Structure 1
Amino acid sequence: MTIQEAAQRSGLTAYTLRYYERIGLIRPVGRDGNGHRDYSEQDLVWLEFLTKLRTTGMPIADMCRYAELMRGGSGTAGERLEMLEEHRERVRSRIAELAQDLKALDHKIDSFRARV
């Protein structure tokens, strides 16, 4: 699929897709007969995972390291697992912080409603 189609399906911009390719987050994308990028379904699956990592706050540098390890094959599975487990703990911690923040907001809203 073209870069525009991949952008639409992934929710990322064409600029972001080119950037991800340039910094090594995605493998060099195949080209069609005219030399245009030709994204595969497998590319979209990887982009979806990268989007989840980014949305949950993983730094780009860590994402690049993870992508590098992926290209290293099954011998890097242990290190990848460790990275994901550490990231999961950071996400859980952030969720707990957000839950506390939400309680504070709810309390403030309830205070305003009681006065209005």
Structure 2
Amino acid sequence: MSNGHAEYRINKGINRQLEFKGLKGQYLAYLAGGLVILLLLASTAYLLGLSPWTILVIVLLLGSGLFAIVFHLNAKYGRHGMMKAIAHRQLPKGVVCRSIKTFVKLNGLNNAV
């Protein structure tokens, strides 16, 4: 700003995927949601009168399982791979057509049959 012109910094991270400690995209949301559920579970168990040591062991086991599953899914599928795998499972194995009328109507050859 010494010569009267404004200087602007350019954010080079626009449109890049969100990543934290190796987790990418939606897996961060899965991990955050799982941790919130664990927090609610621990507070509910405490209000029900369970021993804090029991709660600690349960939360540590479930939390380590959550981390293992989320990091495994992240490594296996990547950013969009799980969506693609789910969409691929929803595709039909094949299309059955027992009549030629369908194809005749597509071609506009209604007078031929």
TM above 0.5, yes or no, is no
Structure number with greater Rg is 2
Choose between structure 1 and 2 for higher RCO, CA contacts under 8 A separated by at least 6 residues.
Answer: 2
What TM-score do the two structures reach when normalised by structure 1?
Answer: 0.30
